[in-house]
Amino acid sequence: MTELGGLTAAQLIDGYRKGEFTPVDATRAALDRVEGTEPAVNAFVRVDAEAALGQAAESTDRWRRGEPAGLLDGVPVSVKDILLQRGGPTLRGSLGIDPAGSWDEDAPSVARLREHGAVFIGKTTTPEFGWKGVTDSPVSGVTRNPYDPARTAGGSSGGGAAAVALGAGPVALGTDGGGSVRIPGAFCGVFALKPTYGRVPLYPASAFGTLAHVGPMTRDAADAALVMDVISGPDARDWSQLAPPPGSFRDGLDAGVRGLRVAYSPTLGGQVPVQPAVAAAVRGAVERLAELGAHVEEVDPDFSDPVEAFHTLWFSGAARVTQHFSDAQRAALDPGLREICEEGASASALDYLAAVDVRMELGRRMGQFHSTYDLLVTPTLPITAFEAGVEVPKDSGHRRWTGWTPFTYPFNLTQQPAATVPCGLDPAGLPIGVQLVAARHADPLVLRAAHALYASGAADVPGPELPTPGGS
């Protein structure tokens, strides 16, 4: 990493304040990183260097006057191409979206970033409508892993996680309906937070309903807390948003984990086979929490795999997205998306309500679980990154992406805050993530525990070697 490309958002802000470098310097460094890595990784669907440098110049002037616009003034950020960003089309990875139009509205989280002076580098890649746990689409092709471009970056916010890992801006906004910031965060070795549902306003409402969250992908937990202070601002367009948070997400971040009651579930009660290297790295992170004073107990939450209920809700949402597509538009869909749309369209109202019942029972069980335990710790994923361009690992026996993401989607059903923290590399040099889950509304606790891992060095994972432009 070059100096500026390796800095966190907080470090950039500190440097601007001290006059050590400017937002223009940081933006040029981020754009240089995009140019040098984009052919190999394919993290961006659109980059507007001229607009970014213009925003950076305005920010530089504000800092010189001592009048920054907000908490992220001059920080290079990227936005997943699911979220509206005025000035350009939001294609959602689909050939069925017409790029013509005014495109004059920001999503709530994007609007808050703009109000706080962030510099928009570009829109990052997504699978079509964010439907799966890897990132490839008819619009942008395959997004690859910064640690090994032959492997997937994960998804559906794979472009954003890859961008952060590569130093193309320290902050990326993503969406998470079944693990979509945590999956690529784990595969790409960055921090990612799925906040409590409604904590970050979302508009337009997701077709996947209340499974879908907006969350940050960052270089560490402290940056995520800073971003949450920005993007949690209210927006009247989201009817399901929560009340404004009572204080800053940075308050108490350094309080540590001493005395916290931590449940460690390595396999969800034997339900999930986990690669040995993943299991060892996650256990190491848990042991670090114990060394820092947490009371750790190996115990499993009381639920069986809710995948069928999740599929009913998820596939029905996908069918709703494409309900009005023409035959020609439907023929151009990602073939896997077309399959699940057909399955979702065949579900009855009673099927959907039965899935809602499963969801409510799971939420009840986890609510009771967290009356005893402050945190649940699991692997983020049972595997490390596999070959790029496929939905499931070769010879895995899985049919859909949910087969290899059993630790993530349950907590979209329950709407709990959950984060992934890097905790090591496997023998092939690929990142491993540990997942921290807390009760609904306990987002600060997740951030605090994650920050403790960073502060103790447990999350110190070497960054990727920069790929050669034009590489595979």
SS3 sequence, 95-145?
CCCCCCCCCCCCCHHHHHHHHCCCEEEEEECCCHHHCCCCCEECCCEECEE
SS3 of 249, please? coil
Amino acid, single-letter form, for residue 141: G
**Which value, to the nearest 10 degrees, does the dihedral of the CA atoms of residues 175, 216, 443, 303 take?**
40
Order of strands, sheet of 119-124, starting from the edge strand that comes earlier in the sequence = 44-47, 119-124, 76-80, 171-176, 213-218, 191-194, 418-425, 431-438, 375-379, 261-264, 295-298
Which one from 94, 180, 265, 316 is the annotated catalytic residue? 180
Comparing CA positions, the residue from 438, 406, 412 lying closest to residue 263 is 438
The structure tokens 């929560």 sit at: 242
432, 186 Cβ separation under 8 angstroms: yes
Instruction: Give the CA angle between residues 218, 223, 225 to the nearest 5°.
Output: 115
| Catalytic-residue membership of 394 | no
| Catalytic-residue membership of 156 | yes
Phi, psi of 93 (to 5 degrees): 70, 15
Which one from 59, 78, 80, 157 is the annotated catalytic residue? 80
Phi, psi of 176 (to 5 degrees): -140, 105
How far apart CA 11 and CA 453 sit, in angstroms, is 19
Which one from 94, 109, 140, 156 is the annotated catalytic residue? 156
| Catalytic-residue membership of 80 | yes
Which of the residues are catalytic? 80, 156, 180
